[in-house]
Amino acid sequence: MYRTCWAFAALSSATSSILEQFPTATFSPVHLNWFSFVGDADAEMYQYKYDSLPNESIFNFGGNNSISVGTLSAWKGPVSSEALPYNSITENGEDLSAFENMRYDADYHLQNAFFVPVNSDGGMVDIEVAKKTLMEYGGLSMAYCSDQKYFNDDTCAQYCPMTLTEVPPDHEVLIVGWDDNYPKENFNEDYRPENDGAWLVQNSWGTLYDKLGGYFWLSYEDKTIYESGCFRLEPADNYAENYQLDTGGWTMSVTGERTRRTP
């Protein structure tokens, strides 16, 4: 298993923007991951990651919504899963240099990306803004702490009471819906939120979440929720040229408080 969850989540959000017209469309996380870190235009971001993780595969560098925005806004993808399937990683020994001609292939172009604010007293994405964004624009790519001690296997429900500074987010998933009345009793007895209500979340871990068909419930009050964003696509012929000074785009924000990268 590679640490490509961030690419799956961002592209799933992007897919939701064209779901009505193309309900079976899927995009390649391999393409997004590789071209986010490899190539002359991306040398600075690659070097930053390599210095931090010198012995890791590029597909284990991890990423976040900001990196996805940077790559997609440079018109590097998205391409269909069939064009560069997930098994390309192992079939090519984790080296996709042979696919360099696909760098600027794109079935669609990223037109907009919306980020939902997180409350200042912990994680806990702004609930009403998140709901409105889901209804108007589609699924939200979101990071959180996936430590399984906070997960109830019987109900597929997750709640972590720790703050971002105590337990950093380590996994990216997709918020697809919500239930204001989801019972707080469905969460682990040792880690239980004060109120009902949860997000319905799509995961990329396959059979580990088969009880709900690849989905689980995440409490509104989970304090590790971070950087929730929504990606909107338009046809690839919407503009003739793409002008920008930084070919890597926006890949990271640095503040006086903290920065986050998601495996």
In the numeric block, the tokens 């068909």 are attached to 213
pLDDT digits (tens, 9 = 90+) for 114-139: 998 876 555 578 889 999 999 999 99
Give domain status of residue 107, yes or no.
yes
Point out the domain boundary residue: 76, 92, 111: 111
Residue 231's DSSP bridge partners are 113
Residue 155: CATH number of its domain: 3.90.70.10
In the numeric block, the tokens 């309900």 are attached to 23
Residue 255: per-residue pLDDT: 57
Tally of domains in the chain: 2
Token pair, residue 42, equals 């991306």
Token pair, residue 123, equals 């994680």
Give domain status of residue 205, yes or no.
yes
Q: In this structure, what are the phi and psi dihedrals at residue 115, rounded to the nearest 5 degrees? A: -115, 130
CA atoms within 13 A on the CB side of 191: 18
On whether both 106 and 61 belong to a single domain, the answer is yes
Q: In this structure, what are the phi and psi dihedrals at residue 19, rounded to the nearest 5 degrees? A: -60, -35
Per DSSP, 51 falls in state H
On whether both 132 and 77 belong to a single domain, the answer is no
Point out the domain boundary residue: 87, 111, 135: 111
Give domain status of residue 255, yes or no.
no
pLDDT digits (tens, 9 = 90+) for 64-85: 998 899 899 989 999 999 999 9
Please state the pTM of the whole predicted model: 0.89
